[in-house]
Amino acid sequence: MAKVLIITYYWPPSGGSGVQRWVYFARHLRELGFEPIVITVDETKASYKFIDESFGNLVKEVEVHKTDTFEVLKLYSKIMGGDERKFIPQGFAGEKSPAFFNE
């Protein structure tokens, strides 16, 4: 079986659309005869705004290697409101965009 290396930040228990893409991609690779191997961050150190444990059930058989990380977004969120997840921006652009986007 050929192996495919997937390097992704978003992996279960992260939730949201970003993780779904990788979960289903890895799942379909297995169905097509490839062995996905995932490198991702340790969820205890990641800045995941949304958590959804159910995605993990879809890829139990996938080999996963978790890495260490320092998350600036967790620090930012704590400073902004005291919560590690509540103030992590995700999935939308703010009302004000940098000038180079408006050109």
At 42-87, the pLDDT tens digits run: 988 877 778 888 888 889 999 999 999 877 776 776 776 766 555 5
In the sheet that holds 2-7, the strands lie side by side as 2-7, 34-41, 63-67
13 preceded by a cis bond (ω within 30 of 0): yes
What is the pLDDT at residue 36? 96
Q: Evaluate whether 11 touches 19 at the Cβ level (below 8 Å).
A: yes
- Work out the mean pLDDT of the chain and round it to a whole number: 80
Task: Please state the rounded mean pLDDT for residues 10-33.
Answer: 90
What is the pLDDT at residue 26? 94
| Total structural domains within the chain | 1
What residues does 35 pair with on adjacent strands? 3
Q: Is residue 13 part of a domain?
A: yes
Q: Residue 51: give the domain boundaries.
A: 2-91
Q: Is residue 97 part of a domain?
A: no
Q: Is residue 102 part of a domain?
A: no
